[in-house]
Amino acid sequence: MEQGHRQRPAPVGRLVARLALLGEYDPALHGRTRLKKLRIRNYELRMEYEERTLNS
């Protein structure tokens, strides 16, 4: 049975793969950076929400 057509991976994925091959990319570092950004965003949203609820 033929499977559905899959989209090609995003260019970013290819870039990351290329950097990894060159040894210039540390996935662990990238993961931590993304987590840090998410944590900061989460904190900002929480503060924003608290501010709104206090002011109303």
Q: Is the pLDDT score of 48 beyond 90? A: yes
Q: Where are the alpha helices (DSSP H) in the chain?
A: 11-22, 27-55
User: Could you tell me if residue 16 is inside a domain?
Assistant: yes
Q: Which residues, in sequence order, are CB contacts of 16 under 8 Å at separation 6+? A: 25, 30
User: Could you tell me if residue 32 is inside a domain?
Assistant: yes
Q: Is the pLDDT score of 44 beyond 60? A: yes
What is the arithmetic mean of pLDDT over 28-46?
Answer: 83
User: Could you tell me if residue 5 is inside a domain?
Assistant: no
Using a pLDDT cut of 90, give the percent of the chain over it.
23
Give the other-Cβ count within 10 Å of 25's Cβ: 14
Residues 13-26: tens digit of each pLDDT: 776 677 667 776 66
Domain that holds residue 37: 11-55
User: Could you tell me if residue 3 is inside a domain?
Assistant: no
Give the other-Cβ count within 10 Å of 13's Cβ: 10
User: Could you tell me if residue 2 is inside a domain?
Assistant: no
Encoded tokens for 44: 């900002």
User: Could you tell me if residue 24 is inside a domain?
Assistant: yes
User: Could you tell me if residue 4 is inside a domain?
Assistant: no
User: Could you tell me if residue 39 is inside a domain?
Assistant: yes
Q: What is the mean pLDDT of the chain?
A: 76
0.75 cut: is pTM over it? no
Domain count, the chain: 1
